[in-house]
Each structure stands twice: as C-alpha cells, then as structure tokens.
Structure 1
Amino acid sequence: MTTFGYIRTSTRDQNADLQRDALKAAGIPANRLYADEGVSGTLASRPRLDALLDRLEDGDEVVAWKLDRMGRNTRNVLDLIEQITQKGATFRSLTEGITTTGPMGKAMLTIMSAFAQLERDTMLERTRAGLDAAKAKGRVGGRPSKVDDKKLAKIRSLVASNDHTRAEIADMVKISPATLYRVLADL
C-alpha cells in the first residue's frame, strides 16, 4: 500500500504551502505529492491528477488536504472518487476527516460534497447579487482607469497633431502603450 497526496490551487497566485505542509505532516513524502497549481477544479482533466490516477494500484490511498481540492461540484468529486475506488484505492480528506474505507465514509463523502457545492453556489449567488446592486447604484467594479479626462484630452491632442508615435504619446502621458491602445480603441 502506497499513500499519495494531491494538491490543487485554482490560480497561479494561490500558495500551495498550506496543503503541502498538511500532507507532509500526515506522513506523505514530497516524492509522492502530485500538484496541479493554477488549475481549475471544474476541469475534468488535470495533468498531475491524471498521472496520479494512472499510477494507482489496489490498496493505495489518495489523500487531499480538503475535499474541495478534488473538484468544484458534487458530480465531479464523486466521479473522481469512483475512479479512485475502481482502481482498488481509497480516498481520505484531512480537513473533513473523511475516508472511503467503509460505507459510512462513502455516505459522508457524498453529503460533504453536496454541502461544499451548496456553499460555493450560495457564495457565487451572493457575489452576483452584490455586483448587480452596485451596478444599479452606478458603481462599477474593477480597477480605476489610469486615464482621467485631462490625460484623455492630451492624448486626443497629441494624436491629432500626428507629430508623435504611439509609444512617444504613451510615454508623454505616463501610461503603457497597451493602455494607450485600449483608450484609442474606445475613442
């Protein structure tokens, strides 16, 4: 029996150290950790997870820091756990303390997956409602524009004069060429 760890972060900005440390504390050596970093849990195919699944044999165990690292919705998680069990391996979640070694663990896994999806769906619904409410009040999310009315007027004047390249204009108004091209596209 060999125990393998699986780590997943959704974006490259996220840090996998917490997951890595928890799996190490659970006794899983670094050479048996499979990490998909910057890979969405909604994707059915994840390169390192696929490699882990290919390697599994009867009696092996797959350990994840948390159930939601395996997938983003109940169906995806349950399908993945089914693939693991079809190979004769088991799954264990450290945070939730769930294992598929017995029928009660499998039942709890199904329930926890459903609650995880409910939590995610509720969070998305609240986020959308908040964005819609802000939009209705005239507030728009996102980063403030680097080009105010004064810079826009200067850009228009410099472009109209035809005396400068786009790169020179961008440098003169202290914005990147990419920002300048976005501004010009909106004119």
Structure 2
Amino acid sequence: MREEFAYGRVSTESQNLDIQVDRFKLLGIKEENIFVDKDSSKNDDRKELQKLLSKLRKGDKVVFYDLTRLGRNLRYLLTLVDTFYEIGVDFQDLSNPFINTESTRTSEGELIFLIFGALGQYFRKSSNEKVKAGLEAARRRGKKGGRPSGPSERLKEVAPHVVVMHKNPDTSIKDIMKAFGISQGSVYKCFSIEKYDYKKQHKNVGNKNAAYKY
C-alpha cells in the first residue's frame, strides 16, 4: 500500500518548524510519517532523515517544503534523488512544484533541479563567508562577535516601572513577569539596573505575594 511521507528541517534550535509541519498536515500526511530535523543541511547523517529513508518502499511518496530543506549540498541532493529512483519512490518539492520525480527525468527538469540545488549551495557558502569576513573585520577593530554585553534597551526602559511595581506589597515577582512579559532573571536585572535593594523592601516568600518588612 502506498504511503506518503514528509521531511522538514530547520538549521538551528531557535527556528520554528510549525509552517512546514502545518503544510504537511494540510496534505493529510499522518503525523507518524512526518520527520523533522533541527540540524544544518551540511550534515549528511541527519537522524530523522535517515529514519525516513529506512521506511521508504517502492511506490511511496516523499514531500518536502523546498529543496533547501532537503539539503543545500548539491552532491548530497543528487545522492538522495538517486536513492529515491533506486527504491522507486516519488518526490515533490512543495514550494517549487516543477521539481518532482517526473520532471527530473527530463533533460529540462534535471537542469532546473541542478540549478536550484547549486543556488542553495552557493547561498549557504556565500552566507558563511560573509559572516566569517564580518567577524574577522570586527576582530581587527578590537571587537568580539556574539551578543552585546549588558542589559538590553528594553530592560533599561522597563526597569523603573518594574521597581515601582515591586514596591507594591501586594505584587509578586510572578505578577511583574506577567505584566512585562519578562523572565524572573530579567526582573532581577531590572532591580540591578536601578540599583534597587529589593531584599530590604520585601520578604522573600517564594512565589507568594511579597509583603513589607515591619
């Protein structure tokens, strides 16, 4: 019996897979047949992709959000397509409908596939080179890469209001977190920004509303 499978991928933990997964579900693909990786496409040993490949049988179909999600290394893309052909599996790029099993069997379709695969590889390498060049330029100027140190501008902005709110004996840390949409650690950072001695102001009663010391 023919089964339909889907493969999705994002490069980092911070990126969201929801758009890809929602698209797969709209096509009626069963949840257990959806495989997703949070990993760089340059890694050929992606765990979920390998699981998917092990389940494929002749006559099955694989869909992916776009070719760059399947991989941005042209050589590996060609290897995957050869694998699909060998097993007898159909495939479909949802973002570029003209990239599919039938089209890639024609000379024009194969050319389009190669162009898109080569472009994905080019943009990945180009992006990496620009990042490296930017970091090197920053190092030459005595700057270090990564997030800037110190509190964010938003925390500096809300810090006075956080302190005012905390001075209310009926207000808890959780109340402040909810009001400003910040973490517990950020609340204490706000106290530090304002040089506010919160320990003298309130008793520490865990998660319960704080009360003034008398």
TM-score, with normalisation over the residues of structure 2? 0.61
Asked if residue 105 in structure 1 is aligned to residue 109 in structure 2, the reply is yes
Match of 2:74 in 1: 74
Amino acid across the alignment from 2:18: D
Match of 2:122 in 1: 118
RMSD over equivalenced CA pairs, Å: 2.0
- Structure 1 residues 96 and 46, CA gap change in structure 2 (3 angstroms): same
Amino acid across the alignment from 1:137: R
- Structure 1 residues 123 and 40, CA gap change in structure 2 (3 angstroms): closer
- RCO greater where, 1 or 2, for CA within 8 Å and sep 6 or more? 1
User: Which entry has the higher C-alpha Rg, 1 or 2?
Assistant: 2
Match of 2:50 in 1: 50
TM-score, with normalisation over the residues of structure 1? 0.69
Match of 1:88 in 2: 88
Report SS of the residue matched to 1:15: coil
Distance, in Å, in 2 between the alignment partners of 1:59 and 1:5 is: 15
Match of 1:16 in 2: 17
Shift of 1:145: 5.3
Match of 1:130 in 2: 134
Give the conservation status (yes or no) of the 8 Å contact 1:99–1:106: no
Displaced runs of 4+ in structure 1, greater than 6 A? none
* Identity value in percent: 37
Shift of 1:114: 0.3
Match of 1:160 in 2: none
Amino acid across the alignment from 1:44: D
Shift of 1:134: 1.9
Give the conservation status (yes or no) of the 8 Å contact 1:9–1:39: yes
Distance, in Å, in 2 between the alignment partners of 1:27 and 1:101 is: 22
Give the conservation status (yes or no) of the 8 Å contact 1:11–1:39: yes
* Structure 1 residue runs without a partner (length 5+): 147-173, 175-187
